[in-house]
Amino acid sequence: MTSQPLNSEQQQLLDDLLAPQKSISSAWLYDQRGSQLFDQITRLKEYYPTRTEIGILTAHRSDIAEMTGEKASIIEFGSGSSEKIRILLRCLNLPAVYVPVDISAEHLELAAAGIRDDFPDLEVIPVVANFTQEFDLPEPVVMPEKNLVFFPGSTIGNFRPDEARELLKVMAVEAGKGGSLLIGVDLVKDPGTLELAYNDQSGVTAAFNLNILEHLNRVHGSDFRIDQFGHHAFFNATHHRIEMHLISLIDQTVTLLGQTIVINQDETILTEYSHKYSIDDFVVMVESTGFVSRAVWTDEDQLFSVHYFDRADSDFFSATLL
């Protein structure tokens, strides 16, 4: 073992790789190169979610603005696609403040700077925090009339349903009384369309997946042999999710944080889930966490959905979450 005590993140990484189903948290996918590769993925013809969600947001921007009203605080969980937040900020009536929340301070400040350049009259206050846990909201110059939590990209699908419910409870807390949630979610559809979106012919998704090992090699000095792993993504019909794995092409051992990890040929390392929902199932889940459905919009092919929820009344909220 390493001579230095491991922090909680390092210990979790080791525990996950020593478990019967080896895994690496999907958070490790998004270093600088990983983020660049994912940006390329969003522009691939096979990957429908990004362009479809942008189309839905654009088509229904006036409805979103009317439901949100004036002087809203926009709280984005994760600092994701700059195009989506720009669509939202341009359609709203006099938004009071934009609060992007992310655990990566460097990425967050870059995103915030870009928004400040494009919206010079809008106060932008980034918050460095793990948004899966409750965090303190900043005090803006203009007091908001309400909070709107924004969570696009079907990122909610990367969480197991029990984890997603806990995250939605945090969103209800941050939305506050009278607040709302605008969230994107990918829909269940034929497995062929789903699997093609995660197995593009140009190999960008494979490079994105393999980059997680390069990230660990660089950060922790591990010795994963990138050329001895392959990309493997498939739809798990039982759990309604895409599973993204790395499959070992040989019997091999890897050293990470002083620990030897044995990986057999054809054994896989799980790197990401992407759960898909029916509209009804998703609404039921969200409404169990302190929200009520107000609107659902989809594209004409029913590939993707964008939902607008209001936070439930205070009596329901207290009984459900506290």
pLDDT tens-digit series, residues 132-171: 999 999 999 999 999 999 999 999 999 999 999 999 999 9
Residue 36 covered by a domain: no
- Domain CATH code at residue 97: 3.40.50.150
List the structure tokens of 148: 């709107």
Banded pLDDT at 79 (limits 50, 70, 90): confident
H/E run at residue 174: helix 161-175
Do residues 313 and 258 both lie within one domain? no
314 confidence band (pLDDT: 50, 70, 90): low
pLDDT value of position 108: 85
Residues contacting 43, CB < 8 A, separation 6+: 50
On whether both 228 and 171 belong to a single domain, the answer is: no
Please indicate, yes or no, whether residues 64 and 159 belong to a single structural domain of this protein: yes
- 94 lies in a domain? yes
Please check whether residue 40 lies inside any domain of the structure.
no
Share of the chain above pLDDT 90, in %: 86
Examine residue 43 and state whether it is found in any structural domain, yes or no: no
Residues 182 and 304 in one domain: yes
pLDDT of 222:
96
- The whole-number average pLDDT for the span 63-74 is 97
Are 77 and 158 within one domain?
A: yes
Residue bearing the bigger pLDDT, 316 or 16: 16
Contact yes or no for 194/235 (Cβ under 8 A): yes
The strand pairing partners of 184, in sequence order, are 306
Residue-range definition of the domain harbouring residue 213: 8-30+192-275
Note whether residue 290 is domain-resident: yes
82 and 162 share a domain? yes
172 and 76 in a common domain = yes
Is the same domain home to 125 and 199? no
Q: Are 98 and 177 in a shared domain?
A: yes
Query: Phi and psi at residue 106, in whole multiples of 5°?
Result: -65, -50
Question: Residue 35's pLDDT is what?
Answer: 84
- Condensed to tens digits (0 to 9), the pLDDT of residues 260-304 reads 999 999 999 999 999 999 999 999 999 999 999 999 999 999 999
Whether residue 287 lies inside any domain: the answer is yes
Task: Describe the strand order of the beta sheet including 241-248 as a list of residue ranges.
Answer: 22-23, 268-275, 241-248, 229-236
Residue 238 has a pLDDT of 97
User: How confident is residue 81, by pLDDT bands cut at 50, 70 and 90?
Assistant: low
Same domain, 236 and 160: no
Q: pLDDT band for position 315 (50/70/90)?
A: low
The answer to whether residue 63 sits within a structural domain is yes
- On average, the pLDDT of the chain sits at 93
Same-domain status, 266 and 291: no
Say what the pTM is: 0.92
| 78 Rama class: left (phi>0) / alpha (psi -120 to 50) / beta | left
Quote the number of domains for the chain: 2
Q: What percent of the chain has pLDDT over 70?
A: 96
Residues 65, 146, single domain; the answer is yes
pLDDT given at position 113: 92
Residue 53 domain-assigned?
yes
